[in-house]
Structure 1
Amino acid sequence: MKENVSKPIYSLTPFTLLDYPHKSACILWFAGCNMRCLYCYNPEIVLGKGSLSFEKILSFLQSRKNLLDAVVFSGGECLLHKKIIDLISQVKKMGFLVKIDTNGSSPEVMQQLLNQNWVDYIALDYKAPKSKFQSITKSDLYDSFEETFDLILESRIPFEVRTTYHSDLLTENDLTAMIQFLESKNYVGNYYIQYFKNNVETLSKLNHSNNKIDCEKLSTPTIKISIRD
């Protein structure tokens, strides 16, 4: 545990143009997660230990000033880590934009970040409708997810909602129910569906997913379904 605290980051992606809309960024992959999603294709990150200290990451970021626009905090679940608020504040003070990839399970941490204006963009994973949340994530964290969603929506900072789709886990009716939930919260914009990656190692052994969704049928006047590979 001490090793994981002192070296919380599993790995670093030094450059990406795909993870922060219209920005160049690096990605910090934090080890550990409080969910065990059946379809998770990062078991080595979720179950593994960190290998990079934040001091090492700060040194890397110092060399990337004026070369990168943003830093993406991902995982695993980055907001679980004890010193995450301090780490994010240091990155902001260096002049980088900050994006958070989160499962929404830490509303208290999210509230602190929003209060301090230390986050610029959020990708919120919407794992499943409430009826299937526990069976898919192996956690009892749906209420925390909903609280986080409400906080982000109220903050009015740019964010996206995304769901990983596996045909054995979610049905079209499930997706409809999830869209209705978003509409009930007055969410407007894109809802990204990420198809499950067949033939990769996952936390649970799953059958081949039939990745076919009728986006036009599921989209509503206020919410557009977009497939993201």
Structure 2
Amino acid sequence: MHKVLLKEKGRLLRVGGYTPFSATEFPGLLSAVVFVQGCPWNCGYCQNTHLQERTRDSPIAWKEIITTLERRAGLLDAVVFCGGEPTMDPALYDAIAQVRAMGFKIGLETACIYPARLKSVLPLLDWVGFDVKTTFKRYADVTGVTGSGEPVRDCVAAILASGVAYECRTTVHPAHLPPGLLVELAQTLAFMGVRNYVIQEFRPTGCGDEAFVASAFPGYPQDDILAEIAPLFASFSVRRAGQAMR
């Protein structure tokens, strides 16, 4: 069925970048990383702005990715699809199914933008890392897109209901998540059933928004805020800017 659909639509995954080896992207496994081209949001702290545009042609041919993965079978454990926003691409399901059939475990990193497409690929995933940027009602302040919070809520609920291993994370910048709002977000996620939560300190490297870089300061959020959040989750950690980050 899916081979027929792929032929009829003439769609192949639009790849904007490829990392042949990563020890951090999929927890506990060695993986390759496929960066899917395109994202409909314009978050000020984005570090992959070169992947935001949905280009007409794929910068890297999907056939090249498959050929490379065939050569690395047995050397890698997993392949992680990220972006941009991987669920933006209608060829994502077929691409994941093709790679999974090669024997790789599959990871997905998503900003939770397209609930229907995310739900379609969840049965094929071994792990998902998903971003929740702020409280759902304040999402437009981060993404620049009105109503962008409701799809995120739907996606989070779907991931939690799926039973797929996950990491929920929030990149924290004081301009968008002052202490009170950050605690409110953590409480909301805990109430929804999130058990594994990571706060990531904003990193200026790669960020094209000078105002964001100028208004950030090291060490945010402070220990007293983290102490209020930590008890809400079975697993909670903080990644500071100098640490390796997924």
Kindly state the Cα deviation for residue 186 of structure 1 after the two structures are TM-superposed. Answer: 2.1
Q: Is the 8 A contact 1:43 1:203 kept in 2?
A: no
Could you tell me how far apart the structure 2 residues matched to 1:216 and 1:224 are?
13
What SS is found at the alignment partner of 1:219? helix
What are the equivalent positions in structure 2 for 1:23-102 lying under 5 Å apart? Answer: 23-47=29-53, 49=55, 50-102=58-110
Could you tell me how far apart the structure 1 residues matched to 2:87 and 2:134 are?
20
Could you tell me how far apart the structure 2 residues matched to 1:88 and 1:126 are?
23
Deviation string 1:16-41 (CA, Å, 9 cap, x unpaired) is: 00111000001111111011111111
Alignment partner, residue 216 of structure 1: 227
Alignment partner, residue 137 of structure 1: 143
Q: Is the 8 A contact 2:190 2:232 kept in 1?
A: no
Aligned length: 222
Could you tell me how far apart the structure 1 residues matched to 2:232 and 2:155 are?
25
- Relative to structure 1, the CA distance from residue 107 to residue 91 in structure 2 (aligned partners, 3 Å threshold; closer, same or farther) is same
Kindly state the Cα deviation for residue 224 of structure 1 after the two structures are TM-superposed. Answer: 4.4
Q: What fraction of aligned residue pairs are identical, expressed as a percent?
A: 26
Kindly state the Cα deviation for residue 194 of structure 1 after the two structures are TM-superposed. Answer: 1.3
Kindly state the Cα deviation for residue 223 of structure 1 after the two structures are TM-superposed. Answer: 4.6
- 1:226 maps onto 2:232 in alignment: no
Deviation string 1:79-103 (CA, Å, 9 cap, x unpaired) is: 1112111011001101101100001
Tell me the TM-score normalized by structure 2: 0.84
Give 4+ residue runs of structure 1 displaced > 6 Å after superposition: none
Could you tell me how far apart the structure 1 residues matched to 2:198 and 2:79 are?
21
Q: Which ranges in structure 2 are unaligned for 5 or more consecutive residues?
A: 1-10
Q: Is the 8 A contact 2:135 2:181 kept in 1?
A: yes
What are the equivalent positions in structure 2 for 1:66-215 lying under 5 Å apart? Answer: 66-114=74-122, 117-139=123-145, 140-188=147-195, 190-198=196-204, 200-203=206-209, 205-206=211-212, 207-210=214-217, 211-213=219-221, 214=223, 215=226
What is the root-mean-square deviation in Å for CA atoms of aligned residues? Answer: 1.8
* Aligned amino acid, residue 95 of structure 1: G
* Aligned amino acid, residue 148 of structure 1: C
- Relative to structure 1, the CA distance from residue 137 to residue 128 in structure 2 (aligned partners, 3 Å threshold; closer, same or farther) is same
Could you tell me how far apart the structure 2 residues matched to 1:65 and 1:118 are?
19
Q: Is the 8 A contact 2:106 2:124 kept in 1?
A: yes
Q: Is the 8 A contact 1:103 1:124 kept in 2?
A: yes
Tell me the TM-score normalized by structure 1: 0.90
* Aligned amino acid, residue 37 of structure 1: C
Q: Is the 8 A contact 1:10 1:48 kept in 2?
A: no
Q: Which ranges in structure 1 are unaligned for 5 or more consecutive residues?
A: none
Q: Is the 8 A contact 1:216 1:225 kept in 2?
A: no
Kindly state the Cα deviation for residue 205 of structure 1 after the two structures are TM-superposed. Answer: 3.6
* Aligned amino acid, residue 88 of structure 2: L
Could you tell me how far apart the structure 2 residues matched to 1:121 and 1:200 are?
26
- Please identify which structure carries the higher helix content: 2
What SS is found at the alignment partner of 2:38? coil
Q: Is the 8 A contact 1:39 1:204 kept in 2?
A: no
- Relative to structure 1, the CA distance from residue 31 to residue 129 in structure 2 (aligned partners, 3 Å threshold; closer, same or farther) is same
Q: Is the 8 A contact 1:101 1:123 kept in 2?
A: yes
Q: Is the 8 A contact 2:168 2:194 kept in 1?
A: no
Q: Is the 8 A contact 2:78 2:107 kept in 1?
A: yes
Kindly state the Cα deviation for residue 176 of structure 1 after the two structures are TM-superposed. Answer: 0.7
